[in-house]
Structure 1
Amino acid sequence: MRKQLFIALCLAGASLGSVASGQTNSSSRPPIDNTILHAQVILDHLGFSPGILDGREGQSLTAALKGFQTSRGMTVSGKLDPATLSALYPYRALRPMRTLTLDVATIAGPYVNPMPKDPEDQSKLPSLAYTRPIEKLAEMFHTTPEVLVELNPGGGEIKPGATFVFPNALPSSRDYPSELREDWRKTLSDLNVDANQPTGDRIVVDKSEKALKVYNGEQLVAQFSVTTGSEHDPLPIGTWKVNGADYNPKFHYNPDLFWDAKKGDDPAMLPPGPNGPVGVVWLDLSKEHYGIHGTPEPQTIGRTQSHGCIRLTNWDAARLSLMIKPATPAVFQE
């Protein structure tokens, strides 16, 4: 009976959360739908990333649902239909939102504000860090600053002891492999990346679906929304390999490799940081100059162009790095 009630409530669009329900958005976007947010949170925890946790329908949620349905051998509709809601039902204990009290460590910097746009100016900084605490909190909870403002109308000062509502991106474990560098383990924790991840032995990047799929044998075990190249730097179709990972990488800016570089730009070595051009991790590919990496602008994934590489949100790129090993095949297809 409870299962039928769960499905009925979801199909009716009723709120499954006790916090921030019935809000409106002053912009042209629809208000946050807590039913959709609940589904997004579950999918995010299961490794079928809907991109931004924002409680709204969109291409990333549709892709995530298709991936989840495929992994369960279901009819692939890309919708929250009754069969899909039934398959999500066992995970209903993952609440859509959590009310949390901030502590010093959670909102600790460093911060860089304003962030210079010129690569030469950026190269002089100690890091390409977040610009403000709300940006850090948004990435930590797999969303955007705008969504956090919507979830906390009236808000308040972001400081230790303050209480805020967040999408429930909290991991089940932070027991990361001990062989990883300490700074990278901290980054994983800051991004609420779960230490428990499936193992992948093959990556498939599908240009038409704007998705990166992780397989173990023939089983689809995870899927992420991606940005894959542009008309200037198209996705290199073929089979490549992942050479290895560079965590919290520096970035060598070479204007000769960027079609949109400004005339007169000089090469520069940019410091690491989540707001760097490749985000928090670079998975190097056997195709020269190409890699799979994060981004400083998670809301643009699947919606803008890249310089030929495969770009994910920082939290999804970090999660992917835990799933695969060097020499993992990477198949890029139309």
Structure 2
Amino acid sequence: MTIRRPAPLAVLAALPLLAMAACGDNDRDRSRPEATSPANDEASRLRQSIESATFTPPAPDTDTDTGSGANATADSSGRGGAVSGELPDQARPDPAMVRVQILLDRSRFSPGIVDGLGGENTRQAIAAFEAANDMEVDGELDAAVFDRLTSGDTARVLSDYTITEADVAGPFIGTVPDDLADMAGLETVGYTDPLEALAEKFHMSEALLEALNPDVDFGRAGQTIVVASTGQPALDGKVARIVIDKAESSLRAFDADGKLLAFYPATIGSGEMPSPTGTHTVRAIAPRPNYTYDPSRVSYGEGGSKVIVPPGPNNPVGSVWIDLSKDTYGIHGTPEPAKIGKTASSGCVRLTNWDVEQLADAVEQGVTVEFT
């Protein structure tokens, strides 16, 4: 699906957040399925391996570049032909990589989606972590990086989570339409199903969530599942300056004293539709934005009629729009977190929904945005 820039005036008309169903106790079984099947036995071993993972140098003839969650599997959603709880051999998560990605996420050096597969976003996050910690910068996961991450954060990287009534309340839309006109006919562009919602809540690929929790009905409240303990708390201060590196496909947020608050992988424009240049400012922040395609105001697309798509996490601009002083440009979320940094945009800066939400909470009108 092509992501198009919205017209800010329409985007800023964000719809109010709908009240979620209250969480509450019920009489349903809250226990995780016992490890009585091969799939559950394998999941139990994977969980233990992630928590106890140590760094082991790869064999000399081993290709350690596993790609990314977007291209290492047949389907980046984790549903490409794999039975629930199973992964094709080429997409099996590396326990040490899962641990590292979660620790990077908690340190605010976002690897994007946590999938245990590594890839360019993880390399960029490691490089940013190395630079911030005065280490040799090469973006490679080695013993020094692993030791620094694990010694600085000794808390468990997986945690139990009980699915709530709110998690399964939806609304879920089944399939996200490809056509904007069809999308505009929806009341909200919600998650496709509870699996997608839960995976995004914990910054995970659906494949990894299923591998950790085989035989689970993610649409049933009361079940306890194992998830990435990302947490990703609020940034340590207010953002005063944002630097967007086009060559690196990244966004860095700094406070007024120049301290790095966060690093995020990003999708930034394309050759045909480049992002802005120079310095701009944040004009406004819109949670749950709608998306407007107005052919009279933009230079991309195939003409047609004006279309307004309602809010929702699978809206073309995701869950948040940070409007820039450069008209029709912004920093926003995405319906496809596994593709961050691997595809093109129509000139805007695209982050995962959870990263842009964290950034937006620390950004105010007038913050400087530099494109380099």
Q: TM-score range by the shorter chain?
A: 0.7 to 0.9
Deviation at 1:305, TM superposition (A): 0.5
Deviation at 1:82, TM superposition (A): 2.9
User: Secondary structure of the residue that 1:32 maps to in structure 2?
Assistant: coil
User: Secondary structure of the residue that 1:331 maps to in structure 2?
Assistant: strand
Deviation at 1:235, TM superposition (A): 1.7
1:273 aligns with 2:312: yes
1:330 aligns with 2:369: yes
Residues 94-243 of structure 1 mapped to structure 2, 5 A cutoff? 94-156=155-217, 158-169=219-230, 171=231, 194-216=233-255, 217-243=257-283
Task: Tell me the amino acid that sits aligned with residue 55 of structure 2.
Answer: L
User: Equivalent residue for 2:82?
Assistant: none
1:317 aligns with 2:356: yes
1:259 aligns with 2:300: yes
Task: Tell me the amino acid that sits aligned with residue 247 of structure 1.
Answer: P
Pick closer, same or farther for the CA change 1:119–1:327 going to 2, 3 Å.
same
User: Equivalent residue for 1:11?
Assistant: 55
Pick closer, same or farther for the CA change 1:269–1:237 going to 2, 3 Å.
same
Distance in 1, Cα, partners of 2:226 & 2:138: 32
Pick closer, same or farther for the CA change 1:13–1:164 going to 2, 3 Å.
farther
Q: Which moved more, 1:128-137 or 1:98-107?
A: 98-107
Deviation at 1:58, TM superposition (A): 0.8
Pick closer, same or farther for the CA change 1:114–1:80 going to 2, 3 Å.
closer
User: Secondary structure of the residue that 2:168 maps to in structure 1?
Assistant: coil
2:286 to 233, 242, 246: 246
Pick closer, same or farther for the CA change 1:218–1:316 going to 2, 3 Å.
same
Q: Is contact 1:70-1:220 (8 Å) kept?
A: no
Pick closer, same or farther for the CA change 1:9–1:142 going to 2, 3 Å.
closer
Distance in 2, Cα, partners of 1:245 & 1:157: 32
Pick closer, same or farther for the CA change 1:157–1:324 going to 2, 3 Å.
closer
User: Equivalent residue for 1:188?
Assistant: none
Task: Tell me the amino acid that sits aligned with residue 188 of structure 2.
Answer: S
Q: Is contact 1:249-1:272 (8 Å) kept?
A: yes
Q: Is contact 1:236-1:332 (8 Å) kept?
A: yes
Pick closer, same or farther for the CA change 1:121–1:89 going to 2, 3 Å.
closer
1:223-262 per-residue CA deviation (whole Å, 9 max, x = no partner) reads: 000000012211212111111201111111224536344x
Distance in 2, Cα, partners of 1:293 & 1:43: 22
Distance in 2, Cα, partners of 1:39 & 1:73: 18
User: Secondary structure of the residue that 1:107 maps to in structure 2?
Assistant: helix
Task: Tell me the amino acid that sits aligned with residue 300 of structure 2.
Answer: W
Q: Is contact 2:279-2:368 (8 Å) kept?
A: yes
Q: Is contact 1:242-1:326 (8 Å) kept?
A: yes
User: Equivalent residue for 2:20?
Assistant: none
Structure 1 residue runs without a partner (length 5+): 1-7, 15-23, 172-192
1:99-153 per-residue CA deviation (whole Å, 9 max, x = no partner) reads: 3221212222111123333222222221111111111111101122222222223
Task: Tell me the amino acid that sits aligned with residue 282 of structure 1.
Answer: W
User: Secondary structure of the residue that 2:169 maps to in structure 1?
Assistant: coil
Structure 2 residue runs without a partner (length 5+): 1-51, 59-84
Pick closer, same or farther for the CA change 1:82–1:157 going to 2, 3 Å.
closer
1:66 aligns with 2:127: yes
Deviation at 1:73, TM superposition (A): 2.2
Q: Is contact 1:107-1:137 (8 Å) kept?
A: no
Distance in 1, Cα, partners of 2:289 & 2:319: 7
Q: What's the TM-score, normalizing by structure 2? A: 0.73
Q: Is contact 1:229-1:306 (8 Å) kept?
A: yes
1:290 to 318, 321, 329: 329
Distance in 2, Cα, partners of 1:70 & 1:325: 27
Identity level (%): 36
Deviation at 1:25, TM superposition (A): 5.7
Distance in 1, Cα, partners of 2:295 & 2:193: 28
Deviation at 1:283, TM superposition (A): 0.5
Task: Tell me the amino acid that sits aligned with residue 219 of structure 1.
Answer: K
Deviation at 1:30, TM superposition (A): 3.7
Q: What's the TM-score, normalizing by structure 1? A: 0.81
Q: Is contact 2:195-2:218 (8 Å) kept?
A: no
Q: Is contact 1:119-1:270 (8 Å) kept?
A: yes
1:305 to 344, 354, 359: 344
Paired residues, number: 294
Deviation at 1:220, TM superposition (A): 2.0
CA RMSD of aligned residues (A): 2.3
Distance in 2, Cα, partners of 1:113 & 1:89: 39
